Amino acid sequence: MAILQMENGDRYTDLQTITQELAPLNVQINHWTVGENSQVRNLLAQESLQYEEKESVLQGLDNYFQELQQTAGYQYRDLIVLHPGIPNLDELLAKFDKIHTHADDEVRYIVDGEGIFGFLRPDGSQVELTVQAEEYINVPAGTEHWFYLTPEKRVKAIRYFTGTEGWVPEYTGTAIKFRQTTSSVG
Ligand SMILES: [Fe+2]
pLDDT digits (tens, 9 = 90+) for 35-69: 999 999 999 999 999 999 999 999 999 999 999 99
Tell me, in angstroms, the distance from the centre of ligand 1 to residue 160's CA. 13
3-165: CATH, from 2.60.120.10, 2.40.50.140, 3.30.460.10, 2.60.40.10: 2.60.120.10
Ligand 1 centroid to Cα of residue 103, in Å, is 10
Answer yes or no: are the C-beta atoms of 79 and 40 closer than 8 Å.
no
pLDDT tens column, 88-141: 999 999 999 999 999 999 999 999 999 999 999 999 999 999 999 999 999 999
- Beta carbons within 8 Å of 168's beta carbon, 6+ residues apart: 102, 103
What is the predicted pLDDT for the residue at 180? 75
pLDDT at 165: 75
Say what the pTM is: 0.93
Residues paired with 77 in a beta bridge: 160
Residue 181: what pLDDT? 64
CA of 148 to the centre of ligand 1 (A): 10
Q: How far is the CA of 174 from the centre of ligand 1 (A)?
A: 14
Please tell me the distance from the alpha carbon of residue 60 to that of residue 149, in angstroms, as a whole number.
25
User: In the 8-state DSSP scheme, what is residue 176?
Assistant: P
